[in-house]
């Protein structure tokens, strides 16, 4: 493992470069839809078609990730995404683009993401020594924060200087950053290799049984799903909070979003340097409770204290990677590599699947009691969930032990 840094960071840097191109292209597509239609329904539909396939397919794609070579799976998925960008570029160039074309490509890209994300997450645990997984997860959170800050202005520059087929060309070009390292740098495969004797259906069922039988892991995934469901409405309702409660405009909304993004970057850097507590669950729960405190503080602030709210958004953003990064590292470090594709896919589907449900609940409650109400309920819920988790032995001792039933399922598959 002496050369793990060179191999991993070469692959990782290529993936980040490709991701930047994809975010710029995504910004361009959303802006084109906004200009061409001015319809909130169109934008909402675009968000749904970009979300639902990944949620629905996640439990099934994870089994493929565990059965196929992860390196080549990522290569072919990246090539497929580039081909979709090429298709849109051609349609824009030919003047034949239609809204349904964009919907279709967004849905297909979402389905591709259901394969790519768990493949990269599972490959990371094979490339990175266990003691460095939390730092790498923190670095990933830092990059997510940086991309959320820099991709919108880069996208705005791109759409102002280039035709839309040129904007899509950026995505096609940057995909090379992701694929070229994978063509030359091998990724270790789990023991059992590729000569699997079990069927796809057997592996699929085995993944569900594995998570269910390992009660601590199952409860941790449920905790993550509940927390994501609580947090999503706060992000969605932020524009209304800034406009209706604090009485501010678009510029101040941008400041609030930037404060969150800067906090995420700082929190990711903190985790990358510190590594968190030796017992990862302690770091996770500190981050969860910290985020909850930040959101509750926003909900309690008087309407004239906007700049204090910015500080609270920054604090909550900082706590986000403190909670998320060790969570990723904990799963990568405790779940067998041959099971990680299925576990990560289930985790993603459970977490994202809560978002539409919580939005259906949060919208009417916010209309009835005011936007601040959800920040108080949501932030308070995060605090209570974080504290309640400390009383669950299965969660608190997840890193030290694993039930025999889960081990047997892993061996059988």
> What is the secondary structure of 235-248 as a DSSP string?
HHHHHHIIIIIS--
Query: What is the reported pLDDT for 144?
Result: 77
pLDDT per residue as tens digits for the range 24-71: 888 788 778 777 776 656 665 776 777 778 777 777 777 777 777 888
Q: How far apart are CA 324 and CA 220, in angstroms?
A: 12
Q: How far apart are CA 338 and CA 4, in angstroms?
A: 20
Specify the 3-state DSSP secondary structure of 96. Answer: coil
Please, which pLDDT band fits residue 409 given cuts at 50, 70 and 90? very low
Min mean pLDDT across 92-101, 228-237, 291-300 is at: 228-237
Query: What is the reported pLDDT for 413?
Result: 45
203-412: same fold as 4-187?
yes
Res 291 pLDDT > 80: yes
Q: How far apart are CA 123 and CA 211, in angstroms?
A: 19
Query: What is the reported pLDDT for 9?
Result: 87
Q: How far apart are CA 319 and CA 336, in angstroms?
A: 28
What is the DSSP code (8-state) at residue 338?
G
Q: What share of the chain is helix, strand, coil (3-state, %, to 5)?
A: 85, 0, 15
pLDDT per residue as tens digits for the range 104-120: 998 898 888 888 878 88
What kind of architecture, by CATH, is found in domain 4-187? Up-down Bundle (1.20)
Domain ranges of the chain: 4-187, 203-412
Domain 203-412, CATH homologous superfamily name and number? MFS general substrate transporter like domains (1.20.1250.20)
How many helices (DSSP H) and strands (DSSP E) are in the chain? 15, 0
Place of tokens 């009383």: 391
Specify the 3-state DSSP secondary structure of 199. Answer: coil
Query: What is the reported pLDDT for 311?
Result: 92
Segment 362-376 mean pLDDT: 77
Of residues 282, 294, 295, 349, the one with CA closest to residue 134:
282
């Amino acid at each position: 493992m002496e050369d793990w840094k060179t191999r991993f960071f070469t692959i990782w840097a290529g993936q980040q470069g490709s991701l930047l191109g994809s975010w710029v292209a995504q910004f361009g597509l959303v802006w084109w839809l906004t200009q061409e239609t001015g319809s909130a329904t169109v934008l909402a539909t675009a968000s749904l078609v970009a979300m639902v396939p990944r949620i629905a397919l996640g439990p099934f794609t994870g089994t493929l990730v565990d059965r196929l070579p992860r390196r080549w799976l990522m290569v072919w998925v990246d090539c497929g995404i580039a081909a979709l960008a090429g298709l849109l570029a051609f349609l824009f160039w030919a003047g034949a683009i239609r809204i349904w074309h964009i919907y279709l490509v967004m849905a297909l890209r979402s389905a591709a993401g259901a394969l790519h994300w768990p493949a990269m997450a599972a490959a990371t645990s094979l490339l990175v020594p266990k003691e460095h997984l939390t730092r790498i997860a923190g670095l990933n959170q830092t990059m997510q924060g940086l991309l959320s800050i820099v991709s919108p202005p880069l996208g705005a520059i791109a759409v102002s200087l280039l035709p839309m087929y040129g904007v899509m060309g950026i995505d096609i070009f940057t995909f090379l950053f992701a694929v070229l390292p994978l063509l030359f740098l091998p990724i270790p495969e789990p023991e059992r290799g590729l000569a699997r004797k079990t069927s796809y259906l057997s592996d699929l069922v085995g993944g569900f049984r594995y998570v269910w039988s390992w009660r601590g892991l199952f409860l941790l995934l449920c905790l993550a799903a509940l927390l994501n469901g609580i947090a999503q409405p706060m992000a969605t309702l932020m524009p209304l909070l800034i406009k209706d409660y604090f009485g501010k405009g678009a510029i101040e909304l941008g400041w609030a979003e930037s404060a969150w993004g800067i906090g995420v970057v700082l929190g990711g850097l903190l985790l990358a340097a510190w590594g968190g507590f030796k017992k990862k669950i302690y770091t996770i729960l500190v981050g969860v409770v910290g985020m909850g405190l930040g959101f509750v503080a926003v909900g309690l602030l008087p309407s004239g204290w906007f700049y204090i709210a910015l500080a609270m958004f920054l604090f909550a953003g900082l706590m986000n990677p403190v909670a998320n990064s060790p969570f990723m590292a904990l799963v990568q470090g405790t779940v067998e590599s041959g099971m990680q594709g299925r576990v990560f896919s289930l985790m993603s589907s459970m977490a994202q699947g809560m978002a539409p449900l919580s939005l259906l609940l949060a919208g009417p409650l916010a209309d009835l009691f005011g936007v601040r109400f959800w920040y108080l309920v949501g932030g308070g819920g995060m605090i209570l969930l974080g504290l309640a988790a400390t009383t669950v032995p299965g969660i608190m001792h997840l890193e030290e032990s694993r039930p025999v039933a889960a081990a047997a399922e892993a061996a059988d598959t």
